[in-house]
Chain A
Amino acid sequence: MLNVYLFQILNGLGLGMIYFLISVGLTLIFGLLNFVNFAHGAFFLVGSYLCYTLVSLTGNFWLALIAGPLLVALLAWALERSLIQRIYHLPHTFQILVTLGIALIIQELSIMIWGPVGKSIPTPEALQGVVRIGNFAYPYYRLFLIGFSALVAVVLWLLLERTRFGALVRAGSESTEMVSLLGSNIFRLFSITFALGVGLAGLAGVLSAPLRGAHPFIGPEVLGLAFVVVVIGGMGSFTGALVAGLIVGVVQSLMTSLWPQGASLMIYAAMAVVILLRPHGLFGRA
């Protein structure tokens, strides 16, 4: 019985790390650019489909793991330079309108390219099978997912907390005007941060593809969950995205064995409680 819970908790950690990767990008973009990106879930979808295509073409998951997120980031960068950059100054409602439009375009294009039925992606050969400890068995790929995402989290933390780029991003979340007064090209900082944040959603899409496949209608669900995580953790907070992502992942996973129908309900209930008790989220700044 205990093994069942351990299994679900590990599943929850993996799911939570995926949620973290998605929402940390969303929160990073919101923190620096004060921009609400409703297309975030759609980029997750692109990541999953790119994983499918790259694995189909080359048979190499590792290539997909590197190239997939980079291609998503490149797409985001191009979109930022051509369109998004022009709507930063508009109210959030307009940003939502535009990015929701982008999300729908991406969704429909995906259906045109990959068809309306989901695709499944094989688990990479090196990570097939299970790890056994005593009478407990756990799939290799899911362990890899937890470990790799944790590594990405550490690298991202170092980037944000220990580099000049990270200091500029944090400074920019306080005052973009002051950052540009100090001679930094704020527009370039915006482009890079947007591409980085969206690229992380793409990475989450690639990583979850061997588990859940690629589906054209996953975008809104992913977006909804990412917002739940960001609201619970606090807008603009790295730690918040990590802690809230893990909480939501583990709760959702445990609930599927305890009370499957209530899994989603619990998450939104948790969000409601956090909004009531801590309107700025667990780690948010007023």
Chain B
Amino acid sequence: MLEIKDIHSYYGKSHVLEGVSLKVGEGELVTLLGRNGAGKTTTLKSIMGLVDTPAGSIELNGQSLLGQPPFRIARQGVALVPEHRGIFSILSVEENLQIAVRAGSRWQMADIYRWFPRLEERRRNRGNALSGGEQQMLAIARALLNDPRILLLDEPTEGLAPVIVDEIVKILKAIREEGLSVLLVEQNLRVCEAVADRHYILEQGHIVYTASADDFRDDPGVRDRYLALSA
């Protein structure tokens, strides 16, 4: 599936990722944890071709993604839901979805409206009229229409009320049921533990820990060492 080997990424001259390697298997939901500034978002952006990544390799099912423009990477089956969600405020909800529709996608508008009835109710509203939770749902729904092989989610529950967070957890579980691979960046450990198969922890541009969901749960020391403050 997705395999990243020893990538180095830069914002201008600052060296943000210093040799990150990770794998996401078919149908696996993997989280990428770490403190603020560890390089989690940069890892996702590197996969999408949004930041300069001169060294290392990024492969999706054996095909190299490195050096391609973002739209080609998206067409090969990588969908990023960015932290800011990227909802087009002057487009209606329906238009936000329609521009992502791809012929032959496993998920079409009808599926999306069945999964997210709230979006159908609000389909004529503009993007900027949505609440934070609705925007997050729209962002995920839009990514699904793009027919991804793997979904990259950047802090999908950030700033959302607890009841909405539960809603997002349900959606993540449903996505997993569909067999879609997911790489999830998330600060809310409760969410991570509820949905993940495996975890990685990133610190100052390096992967410093990886374990299955069970091992991570049984080792509270890891949290204190790498994630204190955010747990």
Contact = CB atoms under 8 A, between A and B. Distances in A.
| Residue in B48, B71, B90, B98 whose Cβ sees the most chain A Cβ within 10 Å | B71
Tell me whether chain A's interface is mostly helix, strand or loop, or mixed.
Answer: helix
A87 B91 CA distance: 28
B127 to A, nearest CB: 9
A257 interface: no
Contacts, number: 58
B70 interface: yes
Contacts of A173: 90
Interface in B56-77: 69-71, 74-75
Interface of A: 164, 167-168, 170-171, 173-175, 177-187, 285
Given A167-B95, A177-B50, A182 B100 contact: yes
Contacts of B82: 178, 181
A184 B86 contact: no
A173 B89 CA distance: 11
Contacts of A174: 88-90
A23 B80 CA distance: 36
B50 A186 contact: no
Interface string B97-115: 0111010000000000000
A183 B50 contact: no
23 contacts: A164-B99, A167-B95, A167-B98, A167-B99, A170-B88, A170-B95, A171-B96, A174-B89, A175-B88, A178-B82, A179-B99, A181-B48, A181-B79, A181-B82, A182-B74, A182-B142, A182-B146, A183-B74, A183-B146, A184-B71, A185-B71, A187-B69, A285-B90
Nearest to A174: B88
Contacts of A187: 69
A285 B80 CA distance: 28
A183 B75 contact: yes
| Residue in A164, A167, A168 whose Cβ sees the most chain B Cβ within 10 Å | A167
B99 A175 contact: no
B98 A164 contact: yes
A183 B86 contact: no
B71 A168 contact: no
B90 A180 contact: no
Contacts of B96: 171
Size range of the chain B interface in the assembly: 20 to 34
Contacts of A186: 71
A168 B48 contact: no
B80 A181 contact: yes
A171 B99 contact: yes
A182 B99 contact: yes
A183 B100 contact: yes
A219 B67 CA distance: 41
Contacts of A183: 71, 74-75, 100, 102, 146
Given A164-B99, A171-B99, A181 B86 contact: yes
A183 B74 CA distance: 5
Nearest to A186: B71
A174 B128 CA distance: 12
Contacts of B100: 182-183
Given A167-B95, A170-B90, A177-B86, 5 more contacts: A164-B98, A178-B88, A182-B99, A182-B100, A187-B69
Contacts of B71: 180-181, 183-186
A12 B144 CA distance: 50
Contacts of A179: 99
A146 to B, nearest CB: 30
Contacts of A167: 91, 95, 98-99
A178 B98 contact: no
A168 B88 CA distance: 10
Interface in B17-67: 48, 50
A7 B74 CA distance: 56
In the A-B complex, the 8 residue pairs with the closest CB atoms: A183-B74, A178-B86, A180-B71, A171-B88, A180-B70, A167-B95, A182-B100, A183-B75
